[in-house]
Amino acid sequence: MNSSDVLMYDNVKREIMDSYTNRDYKIIPDLSQDFQQLRRRKDHFVVRRKLTTCDSRDYAFQRGTTQFYIAASFGYRNLVDIRDKKWILDKKFGKVIEGPTDQPSTDEGVSSLERDVQLVIVNSNSPDPVPNVETTYECIIRKMPFDTVHKTYHIVRMEPYITPGNEHLVHHMEVFLCRDEVEEWSGNCNDPKKPKKSKSCSHVIAAWAMGEGPIHYPREAGLPIGGKGKNEYVMVEIHYNNPELHKGVMDTSGFQFYVTGLLRIYDAGIMELGLIYSDANSVPPNQKAWAMNGYCPSQCTQNLPEEGINIFASQMHAHLTGRKLWTSQYRDGVQIGDVNRDEHYSPHWQHLQQLRPMVRVMPGDTLVTTCVYDTRRRSNVTFGGYGITDEMCVNYIYYYPASEVEVCKSAISNSTLRAYFSQRHGMDGKTMKISDMYNGVKDWSNGVDEEFYNVLNVGNVNMNCLKSNGESFEFKSKDPRQGWENMARPRLFSGSFIRTRDRFQCPAINDMINFE
């Protein structure tokens, strides 16, 4: 909490003071008092300040996640060190800049829009407690309790159903629609007793992570379910994170859906952007800001509807070392804007960002999802994967009209990695596992990390351009030698759209990290 913007409030004098902490954690009054106190009560006070003040000791608020520390001292005044044990600290997360939305915020809001809404809860009924291991994936398969054989419905809202007291265990969830009729089941996703037909439960219809609220669909669109001449089944996959190895915890968490038979104008879809879950996408230790890019190239987006798609919400996700996440849009190789950006990402508070205005993506556009990781506290390679100590880089985009494209992600190609580790480190590039190659580098310092970083940013990539059934789209090219594997990464250039605060003309305490 050094080099931080601080607002002090004296409950005796009922006065505020715009302050900051220096590198030595000392609280110092700011020369420019930019906060204005609007009103005060016995249990709260209200202040106002410009989002950006161009004061080098003030924080410039941005879209995305903002972390707050609330500190209180009772019976002690004139504390000058924020590390003093007399402070009682609590960390909070929030979005200071909230975009406009036309979505209702209550259950009554949903029912006022739809007179035919049903509430469906899909949750675990497993008789077994949450395993006392760090990472567990629980799968819950349920039949939708209404006539999906003859009629199509729209899901207009989805939200988590978390067992009270277990909020710390449920890290994230995904909801899949099953192509086949599957028997109902609850249990570990890796249990050999899991129904074989559950492999057909591959069409992602929702994703949620710790800290998020409901998923609202715009008034003109809904997620379709039913009408295919068969019963519809959904599978909820829960990622339990239990680092303290608690025993005997019973959980009935899951998802709840608001479903209507009054169909909206458009069918909506969800698409997964970012990095493939693979040890190819791994991060060396002791890195302050290691960026990795996941590509959704024009060869894949050409499968979108001719009129394009409208992205109305975005949900970005990484694990413990993720610090910054964003997705940018390119047309004809030139950057034209961002889909979503979070400069202060936290795995402990994640959220679905409603996009207003919506982002229009046309066939042939390229989407690049970037995740920046901080591994300075790790002495070993952080592998790409599913575990909480592994890393991932995902952006779930919610959009309409629906298309067949469900996954559009990349990984540095195995060919690129094998060539690098073989030529630079003398490893067996033909038979060694990718993870063993990473672990075979004992010292990433002395320019080794910089050299490898360059390889990641110029080397070829493997692509996942997948339909909801898991099949790849046909790779359309005049060159028969080209395909989704080991393909050249897109050639991209920054555009003139970027509107950012000039840190030299308009300084902020955000920039102090550059002087540490």
Instruction: Using alpha carbons, list the distances in angstroms from residue 234 to 66, 128, 256.
Output: 34, 21, 11
Both tokens of 102, joined, read: 């036309």
Reduce the DSSP state of residue 109 to 3 states and report it. helix
Rounded Cα distance between 402 and 1, Å, is 45
Helix runs in 267-381, H state only: 298-301
Helices and strands in the chain, H and E counts:
5, 28
CA-closest candidate to residue 123, choices 251, 308, 301: 251
In terms of DSSP bridges, do strands 266-267 and 221-226 run parallel, antiparallel, or are they unpaired? parallel
Rounded Cα distance between 447 and 438, Å, is 16
Do residues 110 and 156 touch, judged by C-beta distance below 8 A? yes
Q: What is the DSSP letter of 43?
A: S
Cα radius of gyration (the chain): 25
CA-closest candidate to residue 441, choices 464, 463, 457, 421: 421
Helix runs in 99-236, H state only: 107-113
Q: How far is CA 330 from the centre of its chain?
A: 20
CA-closest candidate to residue 187, choices 238, 143, 245: 238
Mark whether 168 is an active-site residue.
Answer: no
Both tokens of 478, joined, read: 């005049």
CA-closest candidate to residue 338, choices 495, 216, 508, 103: 495
Reduce the DSSP state of residue 215 to 3 states and report it. strand
Mark whether 399 is an active-site residue.
Answer: no
Catalytic-role residue among 9, 25, 137, 453: 137
Catalytic-role residue among 154, 203, 216, 317: 317
Angle between helices 414-425 and 448-458 (to 10 degrees): 150
Question: Which residues lie below 8 Å from residue 422, measured CB to CB, with a gap of 6+?
Answer: 428, 429
Question: Which residues lie below 8 Å from residue 439, measured CB to CB, with a gap of 6+?
Answer: 380, 381
Do residues 215 and 314 touch, judged by C-beta distance below 8 A? no
Handedness of CA 105, 354, 206, 188 (dihedral sign): negative
Both tokens of 133, joined, read: 């291991």
Percent helix / strand / coil, the chain, rounded to 5? 10, 40, 50
Q: Which helix (H) or strand (E) is 415 found in, with range?
A: helix 414-425
- Catalytic site positions: 137, 317
